[in-house]
Amino acid sequence: MHKKEFIAHIGFPKCASSTLQKNLFTNDQKADLISPHKLSNVTGLEIIQPINNKTILHDGILKFIDGCRDDYLKIKKGLNKLIKNSKKRIIFTSEWVIGTRLIKNNFQERLDLFAELIPSDAKIILIVREHFDLIISLYRDNQKELEGNKSLSIEKFFEMFLNERYKERIEYKKVYQNLLEYFKAENIYVYKLYKNSNRDISEDINKDFKFADNDRIKKTIKTNLGISIYQFIYLKIIRNFSFLKKFIPGIIYINIHYFIMNLFKSDKSIKFNLSNKLKEKVHLAFEDDWTYICKKSRN
Q: What is the pLDDT along the chain (299 residues), one digit of tens a residue?
A: 456 899 999 999 999 998 898 889 988 888 999 988 776 666 655 565 667 889 999 999 999 999 999 999 999 999 999 999 887 899 999 999 999 988 889 889 999 999 999 999 999 999 999 999 999 999 988 888 988 888 899 999 999 999 998 999 999 999 999 999 999 999 999 999 987 688 899 999 999 999 988 887 877 777 676 788 988 888 888 877 777 777 877 678 777 888 888 888 888 888 888 999 999 999 999 999 999 999 999 99
Does residue 50 belong to any structural domain of this protein? yes
Does residue 157 belong to any structural domain of this protein? no
Q: 148 — alpha (psi -120 to 50), left (phi > 0) or beta?
A: left
| pLDDT given for residue 1 in this prediction | 40
| pLDDT given for residue 259 in this prediction | 86
Does residue 107 belong to any structural domain of this protein? yes
Q: At 219, which CATH number? A: 3.40.50
Does residue 192 belong to any structural domain of this protein? yes
Structural domain including 110 reads 5-131+168-226+287-294
Integer Rg of the chain from CA:
19
Residue 128 DSSP one-character state: E
| pLDDT given for residue 25 in this prediction | 92
CB atoms within 10 A of CB 187: 16
| pLDDT given for residue 196 in this prediction | 66
| Start-to-end Cα distance in the chain | 31
Paired sense of beta strands 123-128 and 89-93, if any: unpaired
Does residue 77 belong to any structural domain of this protein? yes
Query: Number of structural domains, the chain?
Result: 1
Does residue 149 belong to any structural domain of this protein? no
Separation CA 45–CA 263 (nearest Å)? 14
Does residue 160 belong to any structural domain of this protein? no
Q: How many alpha carbons fall within 13 Å on the CB side of residue 231?
A: 26
Separation CA 282–CA 135 (nearest Å)? 10
Separation CA 192–CA 294 (nearest Å)? 7
Does residue 138 belong to any structural domain of this protein? no
In one letter, which amino acid is 66? Answer: D
